[in-house]
Amino acid sequence: MSIQLKLEDVETYIGQFHILQGISLEVRKGEVTVLLGRNGAGKTTTLRTIMGLNPSTKGTITFNNEEIQSLPTYSVAQKGIGYVPEDQGIFSELTVEENLKVAMKNESDRTKERLDYILNLFPDLKKFWKKPGGLLSGGQKQMLSIARAYVNDNELLLIDEPSKGLAPIVVEKVMESIIEMKDKTTIVLVEQNFMMASTIGDQFYIIDDGQTVQNGAMEVLKEDDEMRRKYLGIA
Amino acid sequence: MRKGGEEELDVFFNLTLNGLATGMLIFLLAAGLTLIFGLMDVLNFAHGGLFAWGAYSGTWLYATTGSFIIGILGAVVTGLILGLITERVIIKPVYGNHVQQILITLGLMLVLSELLKVVWGPNQLSATAPDFLKGSFELGGIIIIKYRLFIIAVGFLVFVTVQYVLKNTKIGLVVRAGVMNKEMVQALGINIKKVFMLVFMVGSGMAALGGVLLGPYSGVIHAEMGMEFAILAFIVVVIGGMGSFPGSILAAILVGLSGSFMAYYVPDLALAANMLLMAVVLIFRPQGLFGWKG
């Protein structure tokens, strides 16, 4: 499988804080790569650095063999990378319809097809089509955020903690939808919920103190109690 | 002889019309200010300068060509061009830094005022309405001054047009989304800086339109007029809610009406009226009437 996204020795500062101190990872096309690690390890910053929201100060980020680390955020997104932030980034006063429309680059048949697909996956969005995004439940907001990133022909989705703050039944729904989307797009997932991460993920990277310290197939991590205990604090 | 009741009704309607006209002028200035602040997070103290430039360029063009329409269009174009230059040269380097924004835009306000004196001289200029907008007419026993009605109509037309664009077009959607979350708009592949430039230009154009309309309303224009109206516009932005376009027209009308009625009935409190109104609104709704709760 070809490498779609590659980070080589990426470093990022936020203000005076040296958050990423050497992130290297490879994301293969068509797979779900999960970034794991303790709180504050640098997982969210890694996604934000890929998007150009916290630009890197060192290292290279390659997407489809093109260096993107110097590009502004909107250019990174235009290359075909969709982003679902940790706080979902919903435009609270815009309706569900408007939240999706603002994301749609065009109204081509392909886009409409993807919109139909995602609305079938998340029927709640259809139900609350004219409701302001700010009035949706946490789970619905998460669905809207994922739908918004998916609706364009993005080749890669960066999804940051989709299970955060959601009820278990909603987590299950979100997890099912991501599994469903696996066939259509490459995904980089930041997730604290190991059950979810291990169910969805094909590959994993563990980030600790701003560095990638372990990686491999998810099956390996599932079997390795010691590694999970050491880096994730779970047995 | 008119009866006391009729006279009072006449005064009431005239004060209302006067307040609405003043409100619409403030709205034209405040609308751009609120969008610029809401979307770009820029405190633009030079906005009043663009208002004054609109007044001078439009009045001069009207006097030169004899066409009021050309005067108005010329003022708007002046506003758009000055807005473009201001955003590219002055504002762009200080995005994200409020202290620098305040300093540089206050400086620009002074420069714009002084440049008016360089071009058109230090004395105030007289401005008159075209013949077809001079005078008044009677409607149901109430005397209505044509030019005031014209200002209200133009203000309302601008509001409806901009509101339509904000609600029904992609660029409007992007602006509304940008007011709420700029970062996310960029993450959706939209170049927010181009949107910033466009909003700044349109806001400046509206301010210039307000300026040229003010001329015949007050009879004279002077270089410092921008600062006087800018203070009212800032009050309107706070009352209406920063970033709220509908909030800006409602607040502008409230400020216009309160100013008009207070000046007639309680002249001693006229100056304090707007501040009191702002204080009352902020006590009960700190985010303003239509403000978006972060």
Residue with token string 């992609």: B170
Which of these ranges, A79-88, A103-112, A206-215, B145-154, has the smallest mean pLDDT?
A103-112
- The string of pLDDT tens digits covering residues A10-59 is 999 999 999 999 999 999 999 999 999 998 999 999 999 999 999 999 99
**What's the pLDDT band for B271 if we cut at 50, 70, 90?**
confident
Compare all CA atoms of chain A with the CA of B190 and give the residue at the minimum distance.
A74
Q: What is the average pLDDT score of chain B? A: 91
- The string of pLDDT tens digits covering residues B144-159 is 899 999 999 999 999 9
Query: Measured between CA atoms, how close is A82 to chain B, in angstroms?
Result: 7
- A83 touching B, CB under 8 A? yes
Nearest CB partner across the interface for B189, out of A74, A91, A92:
A74
Query: Measured between CA atoms, how close is A17 to chain B, in angstroms?
Result: 19
For residue B50, how many other CB atoms are within 10 A of its CB? 33
Q: Do A53 and B187 touch (CB under 8 A)?
A: yes
Which residues fall within 8 angstroms of residue A160, CB to CB, at 6 or more apart?
A43, A44, A47, A83, A84, A85, A86, A190
Statement: residue B180 has pLDDT above 60? yes
Give the span between the Cα atoms of B231 and B26, in whole angstroms: 10
In order of start, what are the domains of chain A with their CATH numbers? 3-232 (3.40.50.300)
Statement: residue A68 has pLDDT above 70? yes
Rounded mean pLDDT, B186-209 = 94
Quick one: which H or E segment has residue A120?
Answer: helix A109-121
Task: Write phi, then psi, for A3 (nearest 5 degrees).
Answer: -80, 125
Rounded mean pLDDT, A100-106 = 91
Statement: residue A107 has pLDDT above 80? yes
Q: What is the average pLDDT score of chain A? A: 92
In whole angstroms, how far apart are CA A111 and each of A8, A148, B56, B103? 33, 11, 49, 46
- A98 touching B, CB under 8 A? yes
Dihedral sign of CA atoms B74, B77, B83, B88 in order: negative
Give the span between the Cα atoms of B289 and B284, in whole angstroms: 9
Interface size between A and B, measured as CB pairs under 8 A:
60
Contacts of B192 in chain A (CB under 8 A): 74
- The string of pLDDT tens digits covering residues A135-194 is 999 999 999 999 999 998 899 999 999 988 888 888 888 888 888 888 889 999 999 888
Give the span between the Cα atoms of A78 and B187, in whole angstroms: 9
Q: Do A91 and B180 touch (CB under 8 A)?
A: yes
Which residues fall within 8 angstroms of residue A157, CB to CB, at 6 or more apart?
A81, A82, A83, A84, A146, A149, A150, A181, A185, A186, A187, A188
Amino acid at B61: L
Parallel, antiparallel or unpaired: strands A156-160 and A81-84: parallel
Statement: residue B81 has pLDDT above 90? yes
Amino acid at B294: G
pLDDT at residue number B292: 61
- A89 touching B, CB under 8 A? yes
Q: Do A73 and B187 touch (CB under 8 A)?
A: yes
Beta partners for residue A62, in sequence order: A6, A67
Give B287: exposed, middle or buried? Use CB within 10 Å, 0-12, 13-18, 19+: middle
Contacts of B190 in chain A (CB under 8 A): 74, 77, 102
Contacts of A152 in chain B (CB under 8 A): 189
pLDDT at residue number B2: 56
Statement: residue A7 has pLDDT above 50? yes
Statement: residue B287 has pLDDT above 90? no
Q: Do A91 and B191 touch (CB under 8 A)?
A: no
- A111 touching B, CB under 8 A? no
Contacts of A99 in chain B (CB under 8 A): 177
Q: Are the CB atoms for A207 and A190 separated by under 8 Å? A: no
Amino acid at A37: G
Contacts of B180 in chain A (CB under 8 A): 91-94
Q: Do A93 and B185 touch (CB under 8 A)?
A: no
Amino acid at B176: R
Nearest CB partner across the interface for A89, out of B174, B184, B189:
B184
Query: Measured between CA atoms, how close is B240 to chain A, in angstroms?
Result: 16
Nearest CB partner across the interface for A94, out of B177, B183, B192:
B177
pLDDT at residue number B294: 46
Q: Do A148 and B191 touch (CB under 8 A)?
A: no
Rounded mean pLDDT, B277-293 = 85
- A95 touching B, CB under 8 A? no
What tokens were used for B213?
């309309």
pLDDT at residue number B212: 96
Q: Are the CB atoms for B221 and B123 separated by under 8 Å? A: no
Q: Tell me which of B185, B188, B196 to substitute to probe the interface with A (most A C-beta atoms closer than 10 Å).
A: B188
The CATH number corresponding to B11-284 among 3.20.20, 3.30.70, 1.10.3470, 1.10.1740 equals 1.10.3470
Quick one: which H or E segment has residue A192?
Answer: none
For residue B88, how many other CB atoms are within 10 A of its CB? 12
Q: Are the CB atoms for B170 and A107 separated by under 8 Å? A: no
- A106 touching B, CB under 8 A? no
- Tell me the residues of chain A between 152 and 211 that have a Cβ less than 8 Å away from chain B: 152
Q: Do B187 and A78 touch (CB under 8 A)?
A: no
Statement: residue A226 has pLDDT above 90? no
For A6-43, b/e burial (b = at least 16 CB within 10 A) is bbeebbbbeeeeebbebbebebeebbbbbbbbeeebbb
Q: Are the CB atoms for B34 and B240 separated by under 8 Å? A: yes
- Tell me the residues of chain A between 41 and 70 that have a Cβ less than 8 Å away from chain B: 51, 53
Give percent of chain A above pLDDT 90: 69
Query: Measured between CA atoms, how close is A6 to chain B, in angstroms?
Result: 19
Query: Measured between CA atoms, how close is B266 to chain A, in angstroms?
Result: 40
Q: What is the pTM of this model?
A: 0.85
Contacts of B178 in chain A (CB under 8 A): none
Nearest CB partner across the interface for A74, out of B176, B180, B191:
B191
Beta partners for residue B196, in sequence order: none
- A78 touching B, CB under 8 A? yes
pLDDT at residue number B293: 54
Which of these ranges, A163-172, B66-75, B88-97, B113-122, has the smallest mean pLDDT?
A163-172
- The string of pLDDT tens digits covering residues B44-56 is 899 999 999 999 9
pLDDT at residue number B142: 82
